[in-house]
Structure 1
Amino acid sequence: MVALLSACVAFQLNASMLSPALVTMQQELHTDAAAIGLTQTAFFTAAALFSLFLPRLGDIIGRKKVLSGMLILMTLGCVLAALAPNVEVLFIARIVQGVSGPVVPLCLIMLRVEVTDPKTYGTLMGVITSVNGGIAGVDALAGGFLAENYGFAAVFWTMAVIAAIASLLLILLARETTAGDDTKMDWLGVLPLVISVGALLIALDEAGKLGAANWLLVIILLLVTAIAFALFWRAENHSSHPLVATPLLRRRATWALLLTTLLTMTGVFAVMNALIPALAQDHQVGFGMGAGVSAFWTLTPYALAGLVMGPLAGRLASSFGYTRILRFGMIGSVIVLGLMMITVETDARWLLLLTSILLGLSYAGTGNIMLNGLGIVLSPQENPGFLPGLNAGAFNLGAGLSFAVIIGAQTAVGAGAAGYYAGLIAGLVLLLLALAASFLIPRPVDAEVGHQAARDGGAAQRRVR
């Protein structure tokens, strides 16, 4: 747990510690906000793409080996970013850091191998995954402090030190595991899949620019996505060692989970990471807070609530069912988005704080935990890394699509209260669709206490006979 938690913390810092330092990076590198934003896009796109195949590579050559390599590359990427003399070098450094994309899925797979008791696994899974929602907001606060007082390089040096420590702890404390099958990596399947998802992510990012978007480029990228995915499907049908066997893609456990993850992330991500902070800082229909103060009232309590709730949600899932706890979290998220509409055009800061905490409990600490966990417990034994990898890709796709849809709805309606209402309504509709899709996810009975007790009892009776 020390090794796995340190790895997850190191990855999370790469994802969230830079948010308050973006303006400082822009100033010190003498560039504009668009260029800095592109480096962020590069990191999350790379993270999504490497998530598609590195978990499977870990199944084949060793998960500890792959995870250690990812952490070492992350460390080197942090060092390169700290030394970056211009935004072009920073762009390359962020891509190198993006190799660490599937850290959380790989950690959960390694934990699953080590911990067979459903109650213990559920609790520890919640601990690990809750870190993925933000380290109680301390990561963002520390990033802002370091950037303001020591420059953006200090943020990357801090990341590099923590990533190096995590690499060392993993090498010393973790045990090597594989899926145990003697197979080869399907690199011919990896290439078209990466091209397909990469083109789709870039298309979504471009579409999110709305009026400033190059829509011809979006159409071309969507065509590339479709063609590359068709080639991937054909390659998998003809491969003797496919990255993802097409019958596995047809399973309800696969497509229903991926659909639910995609819809949930699209409905929530931009609401909490863009819409609500913007409302907190809006002087006309919001609360007129500064950027730092708004984080204390929104992002910090959201992350802290998720961190506290995560282990409890994981423990409850093993006893009451992963899908049942997921739906409780999603229903709670739907209710919270409805409450958030009341915060528009009010001066009730306590209500803003309350809704941030409640969304942290319902989504960051419950829904997000269950979606990550289901990717592990529903993955087939013959290919444990395939579903967690695809699910990580769905998380990243949803994050990109969320800005295009939620902020797009806000922008389409116009400035003022109407725009915030439109964004929240769009998120609410997407979450309702995600809730409906969640009823299609099969129950992972093997990961729940009642099934294991029945299985153990049946085995005991057979031994007596």
Structure 2
Amino acid sequence: MTNQTDAVRTRSSVVSLMIALLAACLAFQLNASMLSPALVTMERELDATASEIASTQTVFFTAAALFTLFLPRLGDLIGRRRVLVGMLVVMAVGCVVAALATNVPMLFIGRLIQGVSGPVVPLCLIMLRAAVVDPKVYGTLLGVVTAVNGGIAGGDALLGGYLATNHGFASIFWTMGGVAVGAALVVRFLAPETMAEDRPRMDWWGSLLLVISVGSMLVALNELGKLADADLILVIVLAVVAVVSFVSFWKLEGRLDHPLVSIPQLKQRATWALSATSLLTLSGIFAIMNGVVPALAQDSSMNLGMSAEEVSLWILMPYALAGLLMGPLSGRLAATVGYRTMLRIGLGGTIVVLGLMVANVETASRLVLLLLSVAVGITYAGIGNIMLNGLGVVLSPKERPGSLPGLNTGAINLGAGLSFVVIYAAQTSFASESAGAGAGYVAALVTGAVVLVGALIFSMFIPKPVHAELR
């Protein structure tokens, strides 16, 4: 009877924790995706240019990437629930600032503040790992949490479009702020507090150097994304700052007793192989699904000429929905089939789908694009992305659970930025009046596939997460 009571109590606590974690992930996801259909409205209401509004989006994702590098580790030391609640509250403050914005600088500040919420998902996965021991249950729940982070089946974008059209862009930020406050309360009262067993002082100097290094590289990649309009001198200066900062970080971590990331950990395959795989995976696919394929669908010269709304309905929503439905299943399979095997299945499948896209570039069939988008949603969003995030948690050292998820998420964000540079450079180089627009799309897709082959090769070096699998 006692064992049954304990089991019921355990299930109840896991359900409460999942409600809290999903609320937090929902709040972050709205910040990341809800504004996409409202960018033109923001330009009009703030009397701004498209590039100015785009810069406010860039600062959010850049800030999110940088805070991810060290806040999960801070959660190890002072309490993960405390840090998560704090991030959600700060996110709500940023939403209020952005909602009250009367100009671009004020909106910029609001989005910068919102970026503090960047580590929500890795922190949630660490909290889940601390509460759920069973590999099958953890894998399934990991898939649910990470799938929500991949998009709410396009519903977030649709709601954002409705609010912007009928109530102005400020209404979106008020909605985000309300959800963030609600999520903070849910986390505070439903999630248990957890910490690492060993809690030394936080390595703030190491954190600062790593943030400067990764931040400089992210800004440099964003500048390179402008292609012909890029300021190459600025890019070179930022690259030098990034290298010098990382070298200083490496030397500092070797001298500290309790570093943010130890040198032995940096040299482990669990760190460099996973980070390289994440970097290359995002570099190969992110710009394809968030830029190239939607542009192909809207390109009248390719005989499709979809509207932006049609792109959402035929490509982006099915892609997100497929990932959302596949996530829990792939997480469950990871515990039995293996995280690395599932990752390679996802990467290999995505490469095959990109090959099929190349073969169908000249087609005018919406159905073909729909089916291929669903396929990528399954292989990448529903399998590959889930495994990359999961491996960052299950391969983390017990004494420093927040370090690897932070580094891995930093690699993911770097890859997303690098993707727009590499993929668009290939597309621009091959597209010409004589070759036609189709040649550019083919070059972009082939480049993405080649980069993903590199990710697949690096995935072979990722070690087995012994304690997270049943065999």
Please tell me the TM-score bracket, short chain as reference.
over 0.9
**Is the 2:48–2:104 Cα contact (8 Å) retained in structure 1?**
yes
- For structure 1, the 5+ residue unaligned runs are 451-465
TM-score (norm 1): 0.96
How far apart, CA to CA, are the structure 2 residues paired with 1:382 and 1:121? 20
How far apart, CA to CA, are the structure 1 residues paired with 2:303 and 2:405? 39
Residue 286 of structure 1: CA displacement?
A: 4.6
State whether structure 2 residue 290 is matched by structure 1 residue 269.
no
How far apart, CA to CA, are the structure 2 residues paired with 1:369 and 1:128? 9
Task: Summarize deviations over 1:110-167 as a string: whole Å, max 9, x none.
Answer: 0001000000000000000001111011111111111111111111111111111101
TM-score (norm 2): 0.95
**Is the 2:76–2:199 Cα contact (8 Å) retained in structure 1?**
no
How far apart, CA to CA, are the structure 1 residues paired with 2:330 and 2:79? 30
Q: Among residues 176, 188, 213, which one is paired with 1:171 in the alignment?
A: 188
The corresponding residue for 2:167 is 150
**Is the 1:279–1:286 Cα contact (8 Å) retained in structure 2?**
no
How far apart, CA to CA, are the structure 1 residues paired with 2:336 and 2:419? 32
Range with bigger deviation, 150-159 or 50-59: 150-159
The corresponding residue for 1:248 is 265
The corresponding residue for 1:417 is 438
Alignment of 1:375-394 (within 5 A): 375-394=392-411
How far apart, CA to CA, are the structure 2 residues paired with 1:342 and 1:142? 35
The corresponding residue for 2:297 is 280
Q: Among residues 133, 136, 148, which one is paired with 2:153 in the alignment?
A: 136
The corresponding residue for 2:369 is 352
How far apart, CA to CA, are the structure 1 residues paired with 2:303 and 2:393? 40
Q: Secondary structure at the match of 2:453?
A: helix
Q: Secondary structure at the match of 1:284?
A: helix
How far apart, CA to CA, are the structure 2 residues paired with 1:19 and 1:300? 13
The corresponding residue for 1:200 is 217
How far apart, CA to CA, are the structure 2 residues paired with 1:411 and 1:11? 33
Q: Which amino acid aligns with 2:195?
A: T
Q: Among residues 63, 81, 95, which one is paired with 2:112 in the alignment?
A: 95
Q: Which amino acid aligns with 1:118?
A: P
How far apart, CA to CA, are the structure 1 residues paired with 2:365 and 2:72? 46
Q: Secondary structure at the match of 1:364?
A: helix
How far apart, CA to CA, are the structure 1 residues paired with 2:68 and 2:309? 32
Q: Which amino acid aligns with 2:443?
A: A
The corresponding residue for 2:467 is 446
Q: Secondary structure at the match of 2:112?
A: helix
How far apart, CA to CA, are the structure 1 residues paired with 2:137 and 2:361? 42
Task: Summarize deviations over 1:258-281 as a string: whole Å, max 9, x none.
Answer: 000000000000000000001111
How far apart, CA to CA, are the structure 1 residues paired with 2:116 and 2:217? 19
Q: Among residues 103, 110, 118, which one is paired with 1:86 in the alignment?
A: 103
Superposed structure 1 runs of 4+ greater than 4 Å apart:
none
State whether structure 2 residue 310 is matched by structure 1 residue 293.
yes
Alignment of 1:333-372 (within 5 A): 333-372=350-389
Q: Secondary structure at the match of 1:344?
A: coil
**Is the 1:131–1:307 Cα contact (8 Å) retained in structure 2?**
yes
Residue 237 of structure 1: CA displacement?
A: 1.1
How far apart, CA to CA, are the structure 1 residues paired with 2:193 and 2:202? 18
How far apart, CA to CA, are the structure 1 residues paired with 2:234 and 2:81? 40
Residue 414 of structure 1: CA displacement?
A: 2.3
Task: Summarize deviations over 1:301-354 as a string: whole Å, max 9, x none.
Answer: 000000000000000000110000111111110011111113322111110000
- For structure 2, the 5+ residue unaligned runs are 1-17
Q: Among residues 315, 319, 322, which one is paired with 1:305 in the alignment?
A: 322
**Is the 1:57–1:66 Cα contact (8 Å) retained in structure 2?**
yes
State whether structure 2 residue 56 is matched by structure 1 residue 56.
no
The corresponding residue for 1:402 is 419
How far apart, CA to CA, are the structure 1 residues paired with 2:459 and 2:198? 32
The alignment of Structure 1 onto Structure 2 pairs a total of residues equal to 450
How far apart, CA to CA, are the structure 1 residues paired with 2:363 and 2:331? 36
How far apart, CA to CA, are the structure 2 residues paired with 1:141 and 1:54? 31
CA RMSD of superposed structures (Å)? 0.8
Percent identity (aligned): 61
How far apart, CA to CA, are the structure 2 residues paired with 1:418 and 1:145? 36
The corresponding residue for 1:433 is 454
How far apart, CA to CA, are the structure 1 residues paired with 2:295 and 2:304? 9
Residue 234 of structure 1: CA displacement?
A: 1.2
Q: Among residues 236, 239, 245, which one is paired with 1:228 in the alignment?
A: 245
The corresponding residue for 2:200 is 183
Residue 355 of structure 1: CA displacement?
A: 0.4
